[in-house]
Amino acid sequence: MTRRFFLALVVSAFIALIPLTAFAEGIAVISGSSFPKDSLSASDVKDIYLGKTALISGVKVKPLDQKAGLKSDFLQRAVGMSEDDYKGYWIKRVFREGGNPPAVKTASDEVVSAVKDEAGSIGYITESEAKSKGGIKVLLVLK
C-alpha cells in the first residue's frame, strides 16, 4: 500500500508541474471580412497593439481589447507583457508620443460586432468562438 501511495504522489507531483498553458486554447486575432489582409504575423499584431503600426494597406487599423478574461493571456502571447506592464506602457506612450490605447470591449460578442461594423478593426476571441462566427477573418491564431 505504501508503494502505491508513493507512486501516486510522484505522478501527481509530475502532473502538477506541467504548465497549464500547454492545455490552453488558441486565441484568434480577427477582423471583419473587408480587412485589407487575410493574415498577420505575430510581430504585426504586436506592433499594432503597441501602437507602432497605424496603417495597413492604406487602412487605419483600430485594435480592440477585452475588459477581462482573455486579455491577460492575449497580452502574454501577443505582446509579451502582463496587464500591468501593458497599462504602464500605454500611460508612458500617450504622454511621450501621443496616440490612444486600443478601445476596450466588455465581451467577445462585442469584439465580433465591432470588427464586422468598423472598417480596419481587429480584435481577439478564443479559437473555438472564431470557428463558430460568420463574417469574420481569422488573421492569426496565437497558441
Write out pLDDT tens, residues 59-80: 999 999 999 889 999 999 999 9
Mean of all residue pLDDT scores within the chain: 88
Rounded to an integer, what distance in angstroms lies between the CA atom of residue 125 and that of residue 107?
9
pTM for the model stands at 0.83
Rounded to an integer, what distance in angstroms lies between the CA atom of residue 44 and that of residue 50?
10
Write out pLDDT tens, residues 84-122: 999 999 999 999 999 999 999 999 999 999 999 999 999
Rounded to an integer, what distance in angstroms lies between the CA atom of residue 50 and that of residue 119?
19
